[in-house]
Amino acid sequence: MRLALIGLGKMGANMARRLLQAKIEVVGFNRSPGIVKELSGEGLISADTILHAVQQLQSPRIIWLMIPSGSPTDNTIQDLIPMLEGGDIIIDGGNSNYHDSQRHGALLAKHGIGFVDAGTSGGIWGLKNGYCLMVGGEKQVVAQIEPVLKALAPAQDRGWAHVGPIGAGHFTKMIHNGIEYGMMQAFSEGFSLMKGKEEFNLDMAQISELWRHSSVVRSWLLDLMADFLVQDQDLKEVEPFVADSGEGRWTVVESVDQGIAAPVLSLALQMRFSSQDTEGYGNRLLSMMRNAFGGHFVQGKE
């Protein structure tokens, strides 16, 4: 079996490696060619352009996209349409908005091209542990790519699922990431409280390792935290800035659209926004308001 993988970033490159290990032939293209050259030494079939990648496939062609959501994915799909024919399949494994995936599916259906939206989780550890794949699409189309899904997943019978029609894969991944925000926020707040209780002088590394075993809150996130806390508990060299990738925002918008309360997920997103606020204008206003009505002290800049 052979497919083209477009986009060989941190996840895409390791996905290519995992597929190659499973004896699936991979034609790879990346805008920056260095990784293509590196992977060609590991068995990747290199392509200089997307067209070159498509030309090295036989019908029905399978093209897996691992590129940024939004315009890059939109433009690449538009570029691919005249290169493909009926029965070919495009898989979007990036973090696209599920509304975009539904739109892409409808567009490609007009040309007889199959579309699958594959929410992909696993990060930089996917090569070793496998990827969790949440797949949306028509049943017969998903069936054609099952060997690829089974090769990328932790095992052939787990870690991947056809969760529903086109859009369902990226919708499920969006909610997954929203939950991830909440779990990370809960851990960060709890450990901050323990770190702040100076009279007990708690060992954060010891506690994170302790909770990994038979605790109700044991998780892969806790495993990762235990790994870096044993090296550095103070994290003084790390800036308190937390980025958000977009899927947390979409999850909160979905809760508003459905009228379903999601306070934990919403607040976790707001806390990330707070960490990104380098100007602090709102907090300056708060300080001045307290001074105006109560004469409270205003801390000036040094």
Report the C-alpha dihedral over residues 191, 197, 203, 207, rounded to 10 degrees. -40
Same domain membership, residue 265 and residue 187: yes
- What per-residue confidence (pLDDT) applies to 19? 98
Q: Is residue 285 part of a domain?
A: no
Q: Which of 10, 138, 139, 173 is catalytic?
A: 173
Residue 138 appears among annotated catalytic residues: no
* Containing structural domain, residue 217: 173-278
- What per-residue confidence (pLDDT) applies to 299? 87
- For residue 16, give both structure tokens: 């290519």
- Name the one residue in this structure whose structure tokens are 């691919």: 80
Same domain membership, residue 110 and residue 230: no
Domain boundary among 165, 199, 218: 165
Same domain membership, residue 36 and residue 98: yes
pLDDT, mean of residues 258-269: 96
Query: What does the pLDDT look like over 154-185, one tens digit per residue?
Result: 999 999 999 999 999 999 999 999 999 999 99
Instruction: Mark 57-94 as b/e (b = at least 16 C-beta within 10 Å).
Output: beebbbbbbbbebeeebeebbeebeeebeeebbbbbbb
Rounded Cα distance between 94 and 89, Å, is 15
- What per-residue confidence (pLDDT) applies to 42? 96
Q: Which of 25, 138, 180, 209 is catalytic?
A: 180
pLDDT, mean of residues 203-207: 96
Domain total for the chain?
A: 2
Q: Is residue 272 part of a domain?
A: yes
Residue 178 and residue 265 in contact, taking contact as beta carbons nearer than 8 Å: yes
Q: Answer whether residue 251 shows pLDDT above 80.
A: yes
Whichever domain contains 45, its CATH number is: 3.40.50.720
Residues listed for the chain: 302
Whichever domain contains 192, its CATH number is: 1.10.1040.10
- What per-residue confidence (pLDDT) applies to 209? 96
Give me the amino acid identity at 39. L
Is the dihedral angle over the CA atoms 150, 152, 154, 159 positive or is it negative?
negative
Residue 180 appears among annotated catalytic residues: yes
